[in-house]
Amino acid sequence: MTTLLALDKVSKQYNREDLALKDISFTVKAGAFVSIIGPSGAGKSTLLRCINRMVEPSEGSIQFRGREITRLKRKDLREARTGIGMVFQHYNLVERLSVIENVLHGRLGYKNMLAGALGRYTEAEKRRAQEILHTLGLGEHLFKRCDQLSGGQKQRVGIARALVQEPGLLLCDEPIASLDPGSSKIIMDHLRSITSTMGISVLVNLHQVDAAINYSDIIIGVNRGRVVFNGPPKELTKERIHHIYGAEAGDLMLDTPDRRKGEAALAL
């Protein structure tokens, strides 16, 4: 598998206090499912947002498809961003618009402002949006307003919107943090199948260690802005989980009945 994304010594300083990220280096292969785990405030969200420059990294190199993302100016950055889809915890949909309209918004990065403002989409774009919605099990809800959907359905609309961009990489920031276990499993199954059937890489911030273990090819553990673990799930021992989470590890309730219940709900 070829390398799709490579970070080298990426740091982020928001203000004069501590660094939010410190010398972050890792690679993501094409079609890989990679999870980022770590305690609150570790820098997971900052890390994800540096990759598409929603947050400006302070130092280091980010190469996507062999291009140095950190140096791109407006037009080139816009073009590079079409290759990187983003999925949010709170979906970021336009609630009063229909499912299909929200999904087509994913095409805006390819259009000039006028075509975008007038909602001009090609037949091919509309067909592709419908196809993706069918794949995600939303074929019967194309014209429903998004404020009438469940959380799990909204998240599938968010994923569809990212997929119509035809990205090489999906960045998912806590995509199941607001969902019940059943909806979470549906979302994680779809994300996993996107890597295997579409060859798209998925890089996902997760609060749930179980989900990371069950779904990932590679897990990256972050603590205080540094990578403290990078390996396959089978290498993520209890000791290493404790190392990643530090004092928060106790809150994870490892090996409690709740955890086992969560695991059953999320098992593939």
Q: Which of 1, 9, 40, 250 binds ligand ADP (CB under 6 A)?
A: 40
**Residue in 1, 8, 14, 120 binding ligand ADP, rule: CB under 6 A:** 14
Stretch that binds ligand ADP, among 39-47, 90-98, 114-122, 181-189 (CB under 6 A): 39-47
Closest CA to 46 of 69, 92, 14: 14
180 binds ligand ADP (CB under 6 A): no
Q: Rule CB under 6 A: which of 46-85 touch ligand ADP? A: 46
228 vs 222: CA distance, rounded Å = 6
Does 86 bind ligand ADP (CB under 6 A)? Our answer is no
Q: Considering CB under 6 A, how many residues would be counted as binding ligand ADP?
A: 11
Beta bridge partners of 26: 7
Which string of x and - marks every residue 191-230 that binds ligand ADP (by CB under 6 A)?
----------------------------------------
- Amino acid letter, 84: I
Closest CA to 10 of 40, 39, 36: 36
CA-wise closest residue to 26 among 203, 154, 223: 203
Q: Is residue 38 near ligand ADP by the rule CB under 6 A?
A: yes
Pick from 49, 48, 26, 8: nearest CA to 231: 26
Write the CA distances from 122 to 185, 188, 248, 256, integer angstroms.
33, 30, 50, 52
Residue 137 makes contact with ligand ADP by CB under 6 A: no
Numbers of helices and strands, H then E, in the chain: 10, 10
For residue 18, the minimal CB distance to ligand ADP (Å) is 7
Which residue in the set 34, 42, 203, 252 belongs to the binding site for ligand ADP (CB under 6 A)?
A: 42
